[in-house]
Amino acid sequence: MDSPPQRGILAYFVDNHSPLYIYPMNGYLITPTPNTQTNVMKLFLDTAEVKDIEDRIHTGLISGITTNPTLIKKSGRDPWKVYTDIIELGVEDLSIEVMGESSSDLISNGMNVNQNYGNVATVKLPCTIEGLKACKHLTNIGIRVNMTLVFSVSQALLCGLAGATYVSPFIGRMDDNSLDGIKLINDISNIYASNQVNTQVLAASVRDVQSVGVAFGVGADICTIPPKVFDNMANHALTDVGLEQFNRDFLA
């Protein structure tokens, strides 16, 4: 017969810094079940405004930043200074878009980004033949790649074959053109899952709070969102009303 669990004794070999350590609870020794989940949803901010990132990164809810040439232009600043300032905030994953007419140009510029910013930088490439060739080369040498401007399942399949870290379907732009961006997210996610493709689906061009929830619901791994959408995610009129009531009752 097995012995009952020991009460009130913590074995000398226990490592309290390990997620598998044993600890006393209600008099018994308990071994917690480790969290083995690896695919967890993430939020990125889609902005090149350093102040917007600084105001939100310390929530601990932002896992990365995406930028593009248009956002950099809107910032009115030197791109390299913007990237440096963002990284100095503690950002661990920054998508930096590179330009080039040929795959060799894109590879060269991507390697330059990596040399300047190291593993914090994810090289952002356009979903073109030249971009896919560059993606294959960069991923083969261990550089993360975010394939952008994706508008079809066929493009996403090629990105997966090229070993992209992220594929970025632009759901807002699709909706603007009477196409179903959310359905595309779902289709890509299903095909990646059934074929065990490691590329993560990064929903881009997300313009409202509702789209964030729907995108995650149909299989997006990551949503990159403007700062205003991030702020609005935490807001609800009924939360405000309820909090006001609770505060009144607390002070009564």
C-alpha span between 86 and 93 (Å, rounded): 10
Cα angle 102, 105, 108 (rounded to 5 degrees) comes to 150
Rg (CA), the chain: 23
- First-residue to last-residue Cα distance in the chain: 58
C-alpha span between 203 and 233 (Å, rounded): 16
Query: Among 176, 175, 174, 113, which residue's Cα sits nearest to residue 149?
Result: 174
DSSP character string of 197-224: --PEEEEBS--SHHHHHHHHHTT-SEEE
What is the enclosing helix (H) or strand (E) of 169? Answer: strand 166-169
Tell me, what DSSP letter sits at residue 86? H
SS3 (DSSP) at 77: coil
Cα angle 240, 208, 199 (rounded to 5 degrees) comes to 125
Catalytic residues: 124
